[in-house]
Amino acid sequence: MKHVLFLICTLFSFVLFAAETVAPPNDDESKVPKFELPDPLVMADGRKVDSVKMWTEQRRPELLKLFQEHVYGKPTLTEINMKAEIFETAPVFDGKGIRYQLQLVFFKGEQPLQNDPKVDFLIYTPARKNGNKKFPIFLGLNFMGNHTINADPEIRLAQTIWNRSNGQQLPAKDEERGKQSRRWQLETIFAHGFAVGTAYYGDFEPDFNGGIKHGVRRLIYKNGETPNPDDGNAIATWAWGLGKMLDAVTEFQDKLNIDPKKACLVGHSRLGKTSLWAGAIDERFSVVVSNDSGCGGSALSRREFGETVHRINNSFPHWFCGNFKKYNRNVNALPVDQHELVALIAPRPVYIASASEDLWADPQGEFLSAFYADPVYRLFETDGFGGVTEMPPVNQSVGNRIGYHRREGKHDIIEFDWIQFLKFAQKYL
């Protein structure tokens, strides 16, 4: 089955990108090239990083800058303001929870204008039975609109849902309600004492090459202006959006009964790449979870297993910064690799999840990022990956402050994954 899926992904990419020859994807471990990873604890000038102070003041900023320049791009939305309001609050699920709906409006200057970009932000908390304590929250973006995360008929329908393969605008439909509820296990989340907040990623920026004109970035790139090769692109925009969602939670923390110091990021696939980047740039997030994030997420680029840098840049030219494309045919020249992205989250708890049949995302490469980030967690005198050295059997959660599992099955985020994430976050919050 997994090989059939791999073949489908491969054929699909061939058809789409026949114009530029990209090496056929490899799913054979014995064909992984030999490579040398950059050492997260060695500065670009060769000095060894031997203290938390040196990491925090010198190496971390250096690495962050390298990732900005060569992979995800620099922040470009720093001058965008946000106005947030809660437009609805109601008890839900027979009194088991509370639904809050917020609108976030983004603008330049003093006041928003009529047509400024807007994002609907949906939050559920368990009913208020947490004593004096505010709830911790999982924050993540969704793929198909807030109304798809639960069958709750009161979730406001998105203005527009974007077809990501052709950029077409479609109306959100009632019959799509709850379509993605398997990926948003509200009952399980409540049972572990967590709130959850989500927004449609297409509200921040639709996910196609050209989406820049329709999301928040239309405020800064006017009249067809295009980003510089080191400007942040779609992933950077979504990651920025997660930070804005946390701003709103912080502003309304008393009304929402949520503790913004206990905010956990979660994301699946391209949104797992996004949660890692958001967690790296924004230290307010206390726990970071990425699920099946693959290439440009937690998988090591130098392994060139499954999806490669060349392929991802061809398929999704709008995700990473322009400079990332320089490495399409020479991934070993990248000054960083993805274990260092995980390390940027240190000493905060980070959890990486793979799925056994998701070879496209390279489970072994995802595991190795966790493994090679460990020395940085050790520098902080934490137990990092907890001495794990080998890929664990399926469905077994391992590690410590760096957590990992490889769920049996395909590319997805399901209850099993959520239970591990929730238990992991509980341990640290």
DSSP 401: S
Name the catalytic one among 13, 269, 286, 293: 269
Least distance to ligand GTR from the beta carbon of 412, Å? 9
Is 269 part of the annotated catalytic residue set? yes
Q: For ligand GTR, which is the closer residue by CB, 143 or 285? A: 143
Selection from 216, 215, 202, 186 nearest residue 142 by Cα: 202
Least distance to ligand GTR from the beta carbon of 289, Å? 15
Q: For ligand GTR, which is the closer residue by CB, 80 or 334? A: 334
Q: SS3 for 78?
A: coil
Rg (CA), the chain: 21
Is 356 part of the annotated catalytic residue set? no
For position 211 contacting ligand GTR by CB under 6 A, the verdict is: no
Least distance to ligand GTR from the beta carbon of 8, Å? 11
For position 270 contacting ligand GTR by CB under 6 A, the verdict is: yes
- Nearest-angstrom CA–CA distance, 23 and 311: 8
For position 269 contacting ligand GTR by CB under 6 A, the verdict is: yes
Q: For ligand GTR, which is the closer residue by CB, 49 or 236? A: 236
For position 363 contacting ligand GTR by CB under 6 A, the verdict is: no
- Nearest-angstrom CA–CA distance, 145 and 163: 12
Q: Phi-psi region for residue 167, left (φ > 0), alpha (ψ -120 to 50) or beta?
A: left
H-helix or E-strand containing 123? strand 118-126
Contact mark string toward ligand GTR, 271..310, x via CB under 6 A = -----------------------xx-----------x---
- Nearest-angstrom CA–CA distance, 204 and 106: 10
Least distance to ligand GTR from the beta carbon of 207, Å? 9
Q: For ligand GTR, which is the closer residue by CB, 116 or 307? A: 307
Number of residues counted as binding ligand GTR (CB under 6 A):
7
Least distance to ligand GTR from the beta carbon of 95, Å? 36
Q: For ligand GTR, which is the closer residue by CB, 212 or 235? A: 235
Name the catalytic one among 268, 339, 405, 411: 411
- Nearest-angstrom CA–CA distance, 242 and 265: 8
Q: What tokens were used for 406?
A: 């490889």
Q: Are strands 402-407 and 350-355 parallel, antiparallel or unpaired?
A: parallel
Q: For ligand GTR, which is the closer residue by CB, 63 or 295? A: 295
Burial class (CB in 10 A: 0-12, 13-18, 19+), 171: exposed
Q: For ligand GTR, which is the closer residue by CB, 9 or 104? A: 9
Whether 106 and 216 have beta carbons less than 8 Å apart is answered as yes
Whether 135 and 126 have beta carbons less than 8 Å apart is answered as yes
- Nearest-angstrom CA–CA distance, 342 and 346: 7
For position 207 contacting ligand GTR by CB under 6 A, the verdict is: no
Least distance to ligand GTR from the beta carbon of 201, Å? 10
Q: For ligand GTR, which is the closer residue by CB, 294 or 365? A: 294
Least distance to ligand GTR from the beta carbon of 16, Å? 10
H-helix or E-strand containing 315? helix 309-315
Least distance to ligand GTR from the beta carbon of 217, Å? 20
Sign for the pseudo-dihedral over CA of 232, 120, 198, 86: positive
Whether 346 and 374 have beta carbons less than 8 Å apart is answered as no
For position 314 contacting ligand GTR by CB under 6 A, the verdict is: no
Q: Phi-psi region for residue 347, left (φ > 0), alpha (ψ -120 to 50) or beta?
A: alpha
Q: For helices 60-67 and 270-281, what crossing angle results, to 10°? A: 140
Whether 140 and 351 have beta carbons less than 8 Å apart is answered as no
**In the complex, which residues of this chain contact ligand GTR (CB under 6 A)?**
269-270, 294-295, 307, 312, 315
Active site residues: 269, 411
